[in-house]
Every structure is written in structure tokens, then in C-alpha cells.
Amino acid sequence: MAHQESATPSVDTLPTASASRQFPNPELIDQDGHKVRFFDDLVRGKVVMINFFFTTCESYCALDTARLKRVQQLLGDRVGKDIFFYSISVDPKTDTPEVLRKYRERFGIGAGWTFLTGNESEITAMRAQLGLLAVGIDRTKNDHSLAVLVGNEATGQWMRRSNMDKAEVMAKILGENLGEWRGSVGEHRSYSEAPIRIEGKTNGELLFKSRCLDCHSIGRGDGLGPDLIGVTKKRTSAWLRRWIVEPDKVIAEKDPGVTEMVERFKGLAMPNLSLTEREVDEIIDYIEKASVAFGASSDRGVRKNH
């Protein structure tokens, strides 16, 4: 996938939403087995974030979930109070409530974010109605649309946003543009001051910020994945390259050290993000330089990681 950056926010008009309120209203089931109606129980009168995913999606779904988790954290306790997150699985056969509950736990998702599924054909119809089904692609579970829908049902404002949006931008849209403004979200006071683009001096930095940062920090401690400070010293470059290109294959080989690492991160597998060799080299170069900048160049910093 070509890496696209978040563009200036654009308001998409939903074909069926807003004024006419012809929202889909199928029955869905949540991670705890509760049955709900999509419009009546989840959307009516609320500020919401809606996305579609499936738990066995090995690539971008995990990145989406990680990014949305940061959005949730930025919004703090408003999520569950006046802002609600819904992730709907398009693969009900695999993603039973039990599987959804475990997925939610693996990502350490807090209150106010519900994982749901339902009848497959109704979900496909819903996606089409909400404009989240990519046009011209087979309606199979693999055409997972990399977009999320955010909106305020009460005011009829809806936007389709790219999954590549910065978490801070998404939080501002949900918290300030759509919701009542109730205090600052993140470091900028108004949406107009928000950096829309993910900035990076090099392509490696840009890639790291848009593909890795939601799960990894460099020198700020573990997140959903391990802190990557000094990792270019700790691992051989061949191992590192292969890991970033195809972590799924490396995990499948069940090397004890790797298995231990996956277990330490609650079984959350690092996603295969379909990066090219060149992109991986650029990212590694960035991690190396950033590690030096954060002080891992010294022996002390390196030894700490063993």
C-alpha cells in the first residue's frame, strides 16, 4: 500500500445519514454477548467513532486498533461518557463475542469502546450504507476499508477519515469539532492549530511515525510493543530486517526468544505492514539515529536491553 498521509479534513456527505436519518439499524452483539441495535442503542444522539475490522487481519487492522487506542487515551474519560467508539467485525464466523473480548483485552482497551459483530450480510449492507465499503472491490472480508467514520448524530455532522490520520488529529475532531468543546485535547488548544500532517525530516522518520509509533516508542518505555531504543544494537541487522518485513512468519517459526517476547506483550502479534525492503532500511536507519539521540549509543544504554 502506498503510504498516504492525512490530508486536510474533508467532510464527506453520507448518502443515507444526516437529515433523513435512514441509518442502518441491524441487531449486533457485543464482546460480552449483549444484543444491541446499531442506530437505536449505539449511535442515536451520540458522538461516535465507527470502524470495521476483523481480528485475524494480519496487517493494518492491528495498526488501526493501536492508533484508535491512542485517540481514546487522548480523549480520556470522555470516551464512554459523551464519545463512543465502535469496532465492528466483518467476520462473525471467527469473531465470536469471546474472540472479540480477548482481542479487546490484548490491546488493553478501556471503557467506552465496544467491539461488535452481527449478521454478515447485514454488516456488509451497513458498510455500504455508511460509505465504508470500498467501491469496486469484492465484498469479501479482505476488502476491509481503511477508513473510519466519525460523527455526531445529534448535529448530523459526519466525516470519513483516513486510518492514517494522526491520533491527535482524530482526537481533536472527535473532542472539539464534533463534540462540545470541554477543555484541551493534547497540546494544542484549537483545531486550527493542530498539525494535520505527520511530520518527518526523513522518509524513515515519517514511516516510523505513521506505521510504528502507535505501538512503539524510542526511549519512552514499552507501549503495546517494546521500546525500540537500542534495538539496532541488540539485534543483528538481518534479524531486524526480516522481523519488520515479515513478523508473522518469524512468529510462526516459534523461536523460544520470539515466543517469549510475544507472550510478554499479551500475545499481541506485531503486524505485517507490507513494507518494502527499502522502507524497512529507512525505518531502521531512523531507529538507529533516534536511539543515539535518546542516549542509547553508550554501552550502558545497550546493556540495559539485555
The residues that touch ligand HEC, with contacts defined as CB under 6 A, are 62-63, 66, 211-212, 214-216, 224-226, 228, 231, 235, 240, 243-244, 247, 251, 261-262, 265, 268-271, 273, 275, 283
CB nearer to ligand HEC: pick between 200 and 226: 226
Q: Which three cell numbers stand for residue 108?
A: 488493553
Q: In whole angstroms, what is the distance from residue 261 CA to residue 241 CA?
A: 17
Q: Give the containing element (helix H, strand E) for 200.
A: none
Q: Give the containing element (helix H, strand E) for 265.
A: none
* 183-10-63 Cα angle (round to 5): 75
- Contacts for 40 with CB less than 8 Å, ≥ 6 apart: 25
CB nearer to ligand HEC: pick between 151 and 247: 247
Three-class HEC string of 114-130: EEEEECHHHHHHHHHHH
Q: In whole angstroms, what is the distance from residue 212 CA to residue 266 CA?
A: 18
Smallest separation (angstroms) from ligand HEC to the CB of 230: 9
Smallest separation (angstroms) from ligand HEC to the CB of 280: 8
Smallest separation (angstroms) from ligand HEC to the CB of 215: 3
CB nearer to ligand HEC: pick between 44 and 235: 235
Q: Which three cell numbers stand for residue 296?
A: 542509547
CB nearer to ligand HEC: pick between 46 and 234: 234
CB nearer to ligand HEC: pick between 41 and 285: 285
Residue 294 one-letter amino acid: F
Q: Note whether 92 and 86 are within 8 A (CB).
A: no
Smallest separation (angstroms) from ligand HEC to the CB of 48: 23
CB nearer to ligand HEC: pick between 33 and 295: 295
Smallest separation (angstroms) from ligand HEC to the CB of 136: 28
Smallest separation (angstroms) from ligand HEC to the CB of 251: 6
Q: Note whether 267 and 104 are within 8 A (CB).
A: no
Smallest separation (angstroms) from ligand HEC to the CB of 238: 13
Q: In whole angstroms, what is the distance from residue 66 CA to residue 170 CA?
A: 13
CB nearer to ligand HEC: pick between 57 and 130: 57
- Contacts for 246 with CB less than 8 Å, ≥ 6 apart: 272
